[in-house]
A and B are shown apart, each in its own frame.
Chain A
């Protein structure tokens, strides 16, 4: 669409600008402020330059948390994206089934995150939860509170349960925008089921999938509440991800300087990955059009 150049449009954007600036820029400046100072109390503070950054970047606990976080986020994406696409393909196209599936699928998305944690905390326990009980009944010794591997799997399954629906809904939106004529043409050409998926359905889902991958990346990279309720980061540090590490540092130990320095690094990692991904995919899309 050709847009008109008109700087008066700024007036329409101003409210958003102000409201986001208040909640984003002032706190961000505060964080920058903390990250370069050593603060004992509001009157006593020293400028320390990049000391906190060096300390934080050399912290081996942080490296562990970062590795865990990356591995976790990759697992989440590799499971949820294909599963989401697969489920979206099975959804009915019309009839009462559409509304019913929509409501049921969206249900986990609308549950407060700590309640999601509570649900799985209960469900996974061997003594009072159906899930843990059944697994132990099958002869597998399962206890997410003590075995790091079990804790890890439980957190992952919980995330799949919680968020795959988002990918399903997004993909379904992409699928619905395909006109019937495409399918008829494919049928006449004798295209296989795989060819229909590869050359008709997947390209139509591309733009929504980009949004889906970005949202899932950001949110899984920032995950805090669910593992906090479920395992509290344990056993040991097995499920301590970056947000939890940060919150422990800032609120628990009150190490404001290192916590602030770490916040900035954290934010920049997310920003960088999103920007690279977005740019690469958009350029690939443009080349595809030409």
Chain B
């Protein structure tokens, strides 16, 4: 890679992205006295005590586990229901298809604040309040339409001759779909999973409203602890850094899919 003048702009932008994150990390390995005492670019006495607090206190680390569980459930549900639907939208005309597609997208536009109370009542009345599955289902509201939208773009890029050839060769639909079609749109599924993970992982308003103790997400743990016990900046910063880690890992695994998948797909 040759260095060019235009890369300076890129480097400056990436610097702008990274400095606030670095500052959070910097604070997470300082003691509270140092945070409040002096402005230091590097910690004088780096300490892992803040991380130890989080990883040993169940009130903290269960938050991460809860978040992971409902995000995982949500990604699986979204992909499983969106795959056949996206195939239908990309291959067939059927009564009401355009209206249905637009209606699905409108759900992506609904402000979560609108659905706050009804969701709370709905899930309370069926006894799902404060469970992982409730949050996962609630997040389907915006993730399923998004998954259908993205997957449809990828599937439209696969020539229809492949389907026809497979049927002539005697493949049944389920067998064709699972053994031939899904492997063809692997990178599309990767990109979709990435987006579903992303939007479910970062959402707080619904996740916080639908849980109290058992399934409380880490994001809610952070806001509540701050208001309850005064401001323990070091621990707060460490908790913040730990919420970035799963996201960073996911990006790392799908980085090649993103570059490739973006190029062929709709998103």
Complex CA gap A17/B93 in Å reads 16
Take A111-B244, A165-B17 as given contacts and tell me if A27 and B119 are in contact as well, using a CB distance cutoff of 8 Å: yes
Which residues from B are CB-within-8-Å of A111?
202, 243-244, 247
Complex CA gap A123/B236 in Å reads 13
- When the two chains form their complex, are residues A225 and B204 in contact, meaning their CB atoms are under 8 A apart? yes
Q: Interface majority SS on B: helix, strand, loop or mixed?
A: helix
| Central interface residue in A128, A131, A222, A246, by most chain B CB within 10 Å | A128
B107 at the interface (CB under 8 A from A): yes
* Count of B interface residues, CB-CB < 8 Å: 94
Complex CA gap A142/B162 in Å reads 62
- When the two chains form their complex, are residues A247 and B116 in contact, meaning their CB atoms are under 8 A apart? yes
Which residues from A are CB-within-8-Å of B21?
107-108, 119
Take A99-B255, A115-B222, A173-B267 as given contacts and tell me if A122 and B233 are in contact as well, using a CB distance cutoff of 8 Å: yes
Which residues from A are CB-within-8-Å of B6?
89-90
Take A1-B156, A89-B6, A102-B251 as given contacts and tell me if A6 and B93 are in contact as well, using a CB distance cutoff of 8 Å: yes
Which residues from A are CB-within-8-Å of B186?
none
Which B residues, 76 to 118, have Cβ-Cβ distances below 8 Å to chain A?
A: 77, 80-82, 84-85, 87-89, 91-95, 97, 100, 104, 106-118
B129 at the interface (CB under 8 A from A): no
Which A residues, 1 to 49, have Cβ-Cβ distances below 8 Å to chain B?
A: 1, 3-10, 12-13, 15-17, 19-20, 22-24, 26-28, 30-31, 34
Which A residues, 246 to 274, have Cβ-Cβ distances below 8 Å to chain B?
A: 246-247, 250-251, 256, 259, 263-264, 266-267, 270-271, 274
Q: Determine how close the nearest CB of chain A comes to the CB of B48; give it in whole angstroms.
A: 19
A96 at the interface (CB under 8 A from B): yes
Which residues from A are CB-within-8-Å of B95?
7, 10
Complex CA gap A106/B259 in Å reads 11
- When the two chains form their complex, are residues A31 and B111 in contact, meaning their CB atoms are under 8 A apart? no
Complex CA gap A224/B39 in Å reads 31
Q: Determine how close the nearest CB of chain B comes to the CB of A46; give it in whole angstroms.
A: 19
- When the two chains form their complex, are residues A263 and B113 in contact, meaning their CB atoms are under 8 A apart? yes
Which residues from A are CB-within-8-Å of B265?
173
- When the two chains form their complex, are residues A104 and B18 in contact, meaning their CB atoms are under 8 A apart? yes
Q: Mark A211-223, 1 if CB is under 8 A from B, else 0.
A: 1000000100110
Complex CA gap A267/B223 in Å reads 27
Complex CA gap A20/B80 in Å reads 13
Complex CA gap A108/B202 in Å reads 10
- When the two chains form their complex, are residues A19 and B20 in contact, meaning their CB atoms are under 8 A apart? no
A114 at the interface (CB under 8 A from B): yes
Q: Determine how close the nearest CB of chain A comes to the CB of B109; give it in whole angstroms.
A: 5
Which residues from A are CB-within-8-Å of B247?
107, 109-111
A186 at the interface (CB under 8 A from B): no
Complex CA gap A286/B260 in Å reads 27
Complex CA gap A94/B219 in Å reads 37
- When the two chains form their complex, are residues B116 and A169 in contact, meaning their CB atoms are under 8 A apart? no
- When the two chains form their complex, are residues A97 and B263 in contact, meaning their CB atoms are under 8 A apart? no
- When the two chains form their complex, are residues B204 and A267 in contact, meaning their CB atoms are under 8 A apart? no
Complex CA gap A90/B13 in Å reads 10
Which B residues, 213 to 264, have Cβ-Cβ distances below 8 Å to chain A?
A: 218-219, 222-223, 233, 236-237, 240, 243-244, 246-248, 250-252, 255-256, 258-259, 262-264
Contact check: which of A91, A161, A177 meets B10 at CB < 8 Å?
A: A91
Q: Determine how close the nearest CB of chain B comes to the CB of A205; give it in whole angstroms.
A: 12
- When the two chains form their complex, are residues A6 and B244 in contact, meaning their CB atoms are under 8 A apart? no
Which residues from B are CB-within-8-Å of A243?
111-113
B168 at the interface (CB under 8 A from A): no
- When the two chains form their complex, are residues A9 and B115 in contact, meaning their CB atoms are under 8 A apart? no
- When the two chains form their complex, are residues A108 and B263 in contact, meaning their CB atoms are under 8 A apart? no
Complex CA gap A102/B202 in Å reads 19
- When the two chains form their complex, are residues B91 and A23 in contact, meaning their CB atoms are under 8 A apart? no
Contact check: which of B144, B201, B250 meets A19 at CB < 8 Å?
A: B144
Contact check: which of A92, A103, A246 meets B1 at CB < 8 Å?
A: A92
Q: Determine how close the nearest CB of chain A comes to the CB of B153; give it in whole angstroms.
A: 10
- Smallest Cβ-Cβ distance to A250: which chain B residue: B117
Which residues from A are CB-within-8-Å of B113?
222, 224, 243, 246-247, 250, 263
Contact check: which of B35, B100, B203, B256 meets A13 at CB < 8 Å?
A: B100
Q: Determine how close the nearest CB of chain A comes to the CB of B35; give it in whole angstroms.
A: 6
Give 23 CB contacts A-B under 8 Å: A4-B91, A6-B94, A12-B85, A12-B87, A13-B85, A15-B81, A20-B144, A23-B141, A102-B259, A105-B14, A105-B17, A107-B248, A109-B202, A110-B247, A112-B201, A118-B222, A119-B21, A130-B41, A173-B263, A218-B108, A218-B109, A263-B111, A266-B114
Known: A3-B93, A247-B116. 14 other contacts (CB 8 A): A5-B94, A6-B93, A8-B94, A12-B85, A23-B119, A99-B259, A108-B21, A114-B222, A118-B240, A119-B24, A123-B20, A172-B262, A222-B112, A250-B116
